[in-house]
Amino acid sequence: MTATPAITMPALDAAQAEHARAVLDALRARIAGRGGWIGFDEYLEQVMYAPGLGYYSAGAAKFGAAGDFITGPEVSPLFGACVARACAPWLAGGAELLELGAGSGALAESLLRRLAELDALPARYGILEVSADLRERQRARLDRLPPGLRARVHWLDALPAQPLRGAILANEVADALPFQCFAVTDAGFVERGVALDGQAMPAWSERKADAALQSELERLSGSLDAPLAPGFRGELCRRLDSWIPALAGALESGALLLFDYGLARHELYHPQRDSGTLRCHFRHRAHGDPFWHPGLQDITAWVDFTRIAEAAAAANLEVAGYCTQAAFLLGAGIEEELVREGDALSRARRASEARQLLLPGEMGETFKAMLLARGNVAATSSAFAVRDLRRLL
């Protein structure tokens, strides 16, 4: 039997139960083929991205009220309107805009509508989406745009071979990259991976960290105010080291704008955060069991923004801004966007949405915004002027 999280979870329907069985069968074969153990990053590749089986590859709803979690663009079009105001100065003269992992298409829709009103439409709006199912959902949503806006949208299978001038957006993409899990013991660093238990179900299994991971964790621990101590468990996303340079290679000049939940390194690996940040989401229930019905739930960990900053510097990108989501939205004009609503009822609805985007207990402090720049783009946007947290990186 699959362990049930210590919260009330919705029952699976027949299709979900069958899908979970198929994912589990494939996972068992993968673990057996690897000698009985796989790293957690490989586990994530299987249950999140395996064609036809992984969470992001299968057809269940993921975003919004009917899905497992909600992102800023689904909360309110105010999010997209503010991003449009921030991006507008970078899109003059035939520049392009590329969105990575466009989810439901909500951000693309609100962005294009507001950019049109600002007379700052990009020549092309590209969407790089790895999920065929999500592509279809995005197409269905964006097909409702006015023809002049819809004609600018196109989908890509990979980053453009010709570097673009303009902006690249990644809203809650970095947290979806496969990551490793580790623990500190009295004997040293161990990697927390996945094996099959006595009932042939996936379960945590630890092994001594290999030389590469050992070296990485030693470097990480040595960079902190308080070195990692026995009993500490955490996550490490080394794929950021190649992801950021790949994005940098796709940007001739302009901005790379990232939104995600995360912290600077010394905060993320603080001794008081010794249980890690791994979280799973299913039908808006958050819990910590990544082995509950593999393939049916989202599995993420908080982003190390210091690591992103280091990777950006190595790729010749300037860290031109880093702040909370609340500070970004205030700097980008969310208050001005609120007063644009035409009637009192609409303004009240938008005000409620704004609170969810801004308040510390909601999304305002947990989520961060980071601006990576090639060229002088920071001076053209006030979105990062309210609160500069780059000193924390």
Mean pLDDT confidence for 137-162: 96
Tell whether 53 is covered by a domain: no
Asked if 43 and 26 count as a contact pair (C-beta separation under 8 A), the reply is no
Tell whether 84 is covered by a domain: yes
- Beta strands 153-156; 124-128: pairing state: parallel
pLDDT tens for each residue of 153-200: 999 999 999 999 999 999 999 999 999 999 999 999 999 999 999 999
- Quote the pTM value: 0.93
Residue 154: other Cβ atoms inside 10 A: 9
**SS3 at position 184:** strand
pLDDT tens for each residue of 93-117: 889 999 999 999 999 999 999 999 9
Give the model's pLDDT for residue 40.
98
Tell whether 42 is covered by a domain: no
Tell whether 55 is covered by a domain: no
- Provide CB contacts within 8 A for 6, sequence distance 6+: 287
Tell whether 217 is covered by a domain: yes
**Domain of residue 267, CATH code:** 3.40.50.12710
Count of domains forming the chain: 1
**SS3 at position 202:** strand
Ramachandran class of 52: left when φ > 0, alpha when ψ lies in -120 to 50, beta otherwise: left
Q: Which domain holds residue 93?
A: 61-393
Tell whether 77 is covered by a domain: yes
- Please choose, from the candidates 34, 25, 30, 67, the residue with its C-alpha nearest in 3D space to the C-alpha of residue 45: 30
First to last CA, the chain: 43
Give the model's pLDDT for residue 380.
62
Residue 6: other Cβ atoms inside 10 A: 9
d(CA 325, CA 261): 9
- Quick check: 2 pLDDT over 70? no
Tell whether 118 is covered by a domain: yes
